Amino acid sequence: MKKNLGSAGELFPQSVFIVASYAEDGTPNAMNVAWGGECTRNEICINIGDHQTTDNIIAKGAFTVAPADAAHVIEADYFGMATGRSANKAEKSGLTFRKSEFVDAPVIEEFPLTMECRVKEVQDWEGEKRFVGEIVNTCVDESVLDEEGNVDFDKMRPIIYDSTRRIYRVVGEVVGGAWDAGRELM
């Protein structure tokens, strides 16, 4: 038997993205964003409300997105708790922010994978902003690559947000191959 929960969205998992940007004065900032994802192979969409990050992205026309990993769950959670309007989150986190080679936004060295994005479109959406970013480069730490040079998520250990329980989880086991598991029904 199924139970109706109303209009609450219960899609799981939600990726934990660390969105980094520069303020107009050059101060680096990072924010934990759960409402986002790849919308095409080379575009990412993020939805955020009225935050320092919102102002930064509008001013600079760029941002970076790093999937948070288990090794940095404390810093990732902090980036979602503190506000960039009153705290220097980059300094407090102790992480290393360096300028991207491709866009006017910082790359956080400790996160193993970062997508460097140029703002392609800004949409007003129910009091929030939806940013569509063109991924102009993805940089990855070689330590999370497999023998063929592909990202190995077992090595990276990205985290996801379980909104029903308000906890972070590590991406888990392989249960089937994409465009393969369903062949038996073809």
In tens, the pLDDT along 120-167 reads: 999 998 889 999 999 999 999 999 999 999 999 999 999 999 888 889
Give the percent of the chain with pLDDT over 90.
75
* Residues 33, 19 contacting (CB under 8 angstroms): yes
pTM of the model: 0.91
Which has the closest alpha carbon to 133: 114, 157, 148?
A: 114
Q: Taking the CB of residue 21, how many other CB atoms lie within 10 A of it?
A: 27
Number of H helices, E strands in the chain: 4, 12
Given 2.30.110.10, 1.10.260.40, 3.40.630.10, 3.40.50.10190, which CATH number is that of 14-185? Answer: 2.30.110.10
Q: What is the pLDDT of residue 172?
A: 80
pLDDT tens string 6-23? 776 666 678 899 999 999
pLDDT band at 109 (very low <50, low <70, confident <90, very high): very high
| Residue 22 burial (10 A CB sphere; 0-12, 13-18, 19+) | buried
For the segment 49-104, what is each residue's pLDDT rounded down to a tens digit? 999 999 999 999 999 999 999 999 999 999 999 999 998 999 999 999 999 999 99
Q: Is 17 exposed, middle or buried (0-12, 13-18, 19+ CB in 10 A)?
A: buried
- Amino acid (one-letter) located at 179: W
pLDDT at site 37: 86
- The pLDDT of residue 11: 65
Give the helix ranges, DSSP H, for the chain: 52-60, 73-81, 89-93, 153-156
Looking up tokens 């999937």, which residue turns up?
A: 67
Contact 25, 171 (CB under 8 A): no
Question: Dihedral of the CA atoms 77, 80, 81, 85 (nearest 10)?
Answer: 140
